[in-house]
A and B are shown apart, each in its own frame.
Chain A
Amino acid sequence: MITRPAHLPSGPSPDVIIVGAGLAGGILAGQLAEGGRRVLLLERGDHLPHEAIPGDHLRNHRLSLYGDNTSLDPAGHPRVFVDPTGREHLVPPHDARHQLNAYTVGGGARIWGMQAWRFHPDDFRMASRYGVPADSSLADWPIAYDDLAPFYDQAEHAIGIAGDHFGDTHAPRTRPFPLPPVPRSPSAAWLARGAASLGWSTFTPPLAVNTAPYQGRGACIQCAQCIGFSCPTDAKNGSHNTLLPRALATGRCTLVTRAQATRVLTDARGRVTGVAYVAPVSPGSATLASHTVHAPLVIVSSGALESARLLLLSSSPTHPHGLGNHSDHLGRHVQGHYYPIAYGVLPPGVEQTLTGPGVSIATTRFNHGNPGIIGGAMLANDFVKLPLIFWRQSLPPDVPRWGLANKRAMRDLFRRGIDVRGPVQEIPSPHSRITLDPTVRDRHSLPVARLSGTTHPETVRTAEFIRQRAEEWLRASGAERVWSWPPELKFSAGQHQAGTCRMSADPSAGVTDPFGRVHGHDNLYVCDASLHVTNGGFNPALTVMALAFRTAAHMLRSA
């Protein structure tokens, strides 16, 4: 006899449970609820209004020195980070080694930087294009760019992307972006001239921001906080302010917040039957209780690290190593993005405007076709800088770290600092993993994520190549001085975490089929950045969105 948790509505049980109301989860909820499905959406974080996300420059998702601004109650959720020398570190969520995205309704995209890139067609066929380096797990996706293109298009219009249709040509598109590109800053115009002198073409990158009123919300006011923070005019687009409200408006979607899934339930034969979770006994209560809820379909959408953890936590006699781990791929091939940066000082007469979002010029010239290098990266300028972040990262290395000289350098250079950076397509390694820690447990007594290994050394070579191109760009543009630091071999996941439940046509080569359905299960799906076989030389979120639209369309078609 199953009793229904008090916080769930009465009436028929859900058709589908989605674990995680992040970027992908919100899209799935919207599409499935509008398609007539009864959806239960479980989210471990809160549904935060703008006012509940502080503008704290020490505790936000761009700089989290002592905490962040969306995890209201982060205690009791550490991870174990194993560094490349094998030493273990117990790290809280705000520590960079924890690799936190954001635990809140909307996921990382609640406070993100909004770069909304399509992957390059060759990003889906890396192994075919470059061969497979020894000891790497580089592989082609089981789908091609053309399979995803209609869903990229759907995402761009449903979420609201501002871009440059004619300049942005690395991936074929059929119709213009729904919103005009962000304004180009004077320093970006300066970079455009530098790139032109090298024969590189540039354009205004695609951003998920309302450059004009769209879908009933206002336009960006170009405030100077932006990335890492909530948007004061709600012009920062994600699933939390588009597809999720649409889901809730149908009356068929129930969102339960502060509900952390602890296990995907299976019956004696191993068939998925529902989800167990921990949530307040009633909304707002501090007392937690364990609940179970059943549905014919379960979608895990908890972000790349937590989705893999949940499937590992769901082991049973029929699946002793976790659900979807029949071929030992679950939790492996963790990827993020190496992000080489070249810093420089603008010449007199060119100034930063100190308006957000800030990213307004990019080149995709180095994503592929780099002699002797596997893959590459898109290069772009940076988001508007917070003063403290500038102090920590952007002063020339020979400026004293304190005293009058430091203060004067801050004053002289704050509006003249510039940098160019890019997300390097990583070469995955099976040794870069998330597993369950054998000893450390979270506040619900569940084993925490244990992160170990490093990316493949080829990633470092590509990152070094991209760093040199970034320096070249600043030099050619006429920067007064240019500096940067060489990349090192490390574990990489972070905000762009991906790859832990890779898709494969052949069940022995991955965790899910080409639609995200877990091999060997007909009613369990994964849908988030976990599915990415490789993570592109671009920020990953538009691909996460396109996959969510594709998975939803597939589900609505098949039932």
Chain B
Amino acid sequence: MGALRFHSFAVMPLTPPLLVALRAVLDRLIPTDEFPGALAAGTDDYVVRALLGDSARELPLIIAGLARLDALALAHHSPASTFAALRPVQQDELLRSPEVAGDPFFHRLVDLAHEGFYADPGNGGNRDALSWQMLGYDPHGGADRPPTSAPATPSSR
């Protein structure tokens, strides 16, 4: 967590419980299957860094949303549990309520997560180009042979 080292706890508004909730949400937004998901790719690092940098204005929105998710989890599950401690199906079900409600917190977090995961590794959320490997995308790739040209259209047309 490069970003965390920069910020002392006094100015780090994403408290440890909120970070736990954030990671749990990211793990459901881009889960692991045969291919690595958000956490393996370091997308949590990217999101934290974005919220302390370019997207700092949205930090309060995200903090409030994460806190609401934990509150929902505590209220609707017995024994009482944080969002992170729920089972994946329960987490997915819980995430559907802010999604359906059009909660800007949720939609922004969905965008941030996928930005990190599918952008270039230099942005920190797509470690080792894991998502690009999954897609078979290589920015430098293309033709490693000299390009061949399609024949020009015959003049008869």
Minimal beta-carbon separation of A255 from chain B (angstroms)? 30
Once the chains bind, are A58 and B155 in contact (CB under 8 Å)? no
A400 to B142, alpha carbons, bound, how many Å?
30
Tell whether A355 pairs with B141 under 8 Å between CB atoms, given A181-B150, A182-B149, A404-B33: yes
Cβ-based interface call for A407 (8 A):
yes
Residues 85 to 123 of chain B near chain A (Cβ within 8 Å): 92, 95, 99, 107, 110, 113-115, 118-120, 122-123
A164 to B150, alpha carbons, bound, how many Å?
9
Once the chains bind, are B31 and A222 in contact (CB under 8 Å)? no
Once the chains bind, are A58 and B123 in contact (CB under 8 Å)? yes
Once the chains bind, are B152 and A356 in contact (CB under 8 Å)? no
Cβ-based interface call for B23 (8 A):
no
Q: Which of B92, B123, B132 interacts with A387 by CB under 8 Å?
A: B132
Q: Residue of B at shortest CB range from A162?
A: B149
A167 to B150, alpha carbons, bound, how many Å?
12
Once the chains bind, are A407 and B33 in contact (CB under 8 Å)? yes
Kindly list chain B residues whose C-beta atoms are within 8 Å of the C-beta of A222: 142-143, 147
Kindly list chain B residues whose C-beta atoms are within 8 Å of the C-beta of A65: 115
Q: Residue of A at shortest CB range from B139?
A: A225
A360 to B143, alpha carbons, bound, how many Å?
15
Kindly list chain A residues whose C-beta atoms are within 8 Å of the C-beta of B152: 164-167, 180-181, 204
Tell whether A415 pairs with B136 under 8 Å between CB atoms, given A166-B154, A166-B155, A401-B110: yes
Q: Which of B30, B113, B149 interacts with A211 by CB under 8 Å?
A: B149
Once the chains bind, are A203 and B142 in contact (CB under 8 Å)? no
Once the chains bind, are A402 and B29 in contact (CB under 8 Å)? yes
Q: Which of A221, A411, A415 interacts with B142 by CB under 8 Å?
A: A221
Cβ-based interface call for A295 (8 A):
no
Cβ-based interface call for A293 (8 A):
no
Cβ-based interface call for A472 (8 A):
no
A442 to B134, alpha carbons, bound, how many Å?
44
A165 to B147, alpha carbons, bound, how many Å?
19
Q: Which of A181, A204, A223 interacts with B141 by CB under 8 Å?
A: A223
Cβ-based interface call for A219 (8 A):
yes
Minimal beta-carbon separation of A204 from chain B (angstroms)? 6
Minimal beta-carbon separation of A165 from chain B (angstroms)? 6
Q: Which of A201, A388, A392, A407 interacts with B30 by CB under 8 Å?
A: A407
Kindly list chain A residues whose C-beta atoms are within 8 Å of the C-beta of B147: 182-183, 211, 219-222
A402 to B157, alpha carbons, bound, how many Å?
48
Once the chains bind, are B131 and A387 in contact (CB under 8 Å)? yes
A222 to B136, alpha carbons, bound, how many Å?
15
Q: Which of A181, A184, A232, A408 interacts with B33 by CB under 8 Å?
A: A408
Minimal beta-carbon separation of B13 from chain A (angstroms)? 20
Kindly list chain A residues whose C-beta atoms are within 8 Å of the C-beta of B122: 54-56
Tell whether A411 pairs with B139 under 8 Å between CB atoms, given A56-B122, A181-B152: no
Q: How many residues of B contact A (CB 8 A)?
A: 45
Q: Residue of B at shortest CB range from A385?
A: B137
Write the A33-76 contact mask toward B (1 if CB under 8 angstroms, else 0).
00000000000000000000011111000000111000000000
What is the predominant secondary structure among interface residues of chain A facing chain B? loop
Once the chains bind, are B29 and A223 in contact (CB under 8 Å)? no
Cβ-based interface call for A151 (8 A):
no
Once the chains bind, are B142 and A355 in contact (CB under 8 Å)? yes
Q: Which of A360, A386, A388, A404 interacts with B150 by CB under 8 Å?
A: A360
Kindly list chain A residues whose C-beta atoms are within 8 Å of the C-beta of B140: 223-224, 232
Once the chains bind, are A410 and B141 in contact (CB under 8 Å)? no
Residues 356 to 403 of chain A near chain B (Cβ within 8 Å): 356, 360, 384, 386-388, 390-392, 401-403
Once the chains bind, are B150 and A387 in contact (CB under 8 Å)? no
Once the chains bind, are A183 and B154 in contact (CB under 8 Å)? no
Cβ-based interface call for A509 (8 A):
no
Kindly list chain A residues whose C-beta atoms are within 8 Å of the C-beta of B143: 221-222, 355
Q: Residue of B at shortest CB range from A202?
A: B153
Cβ-based interface call for A354 (8 A):
yes
Once the chains bind, are B135 and A407 in contact (CB under 8 Å)? no
Q: Residue of B at shortest CB range from A185?
A: B150
Cβ-based interface call for A414 (8 A):
yes
Specify which of B33, B122, B146 lies most central, judged by the most chain A CB atoms within 10 Å of its CB: B146
Tell whether A204 pairs with B123 under 8 Å between CB atoms, given A354-B136, A388-B115: no
List 15 additional A-B contacts (Cβ < 8 Å) besides A165-B152, A201-B157, A415-B136.
A56-B122, A58-B119, A66-B54, A67-B54, A166-B153, A167-B153, A182-B149, A355-B143, A360-B150, A386-B137, A387-B118, A391-B118, A403-B28, A408-B33, A414-B136
Listed by A's residue number, 15 A-B pairs whose Cβ atoms lie within 8 Å are: A56-B119, A58-B119, A166-B154, A183-B149, A201-B157, A211-B147, A211-B149, A221-B147, A224-B138, A224-B141, A402-B30, A402-B110, A403-B29, A404-B33, A410-B134
A binding-site residues for B, Cβ under 8 Å: 54-58, 65-67, 164-167, 169, 180-184, 201, 203-204, 211, 219-225, 232, 354-356, 360, 384, 386-388, 390-392, 401-404, 406-408, 410-411, 414-415
The 10 closest A-B pairs by CB, nearest first: A167-B153, A222-B142, A184-B150, A57-B119, A388-B118, A355-B142, A222-B143, A66-B54, A387-B118, A180-B149
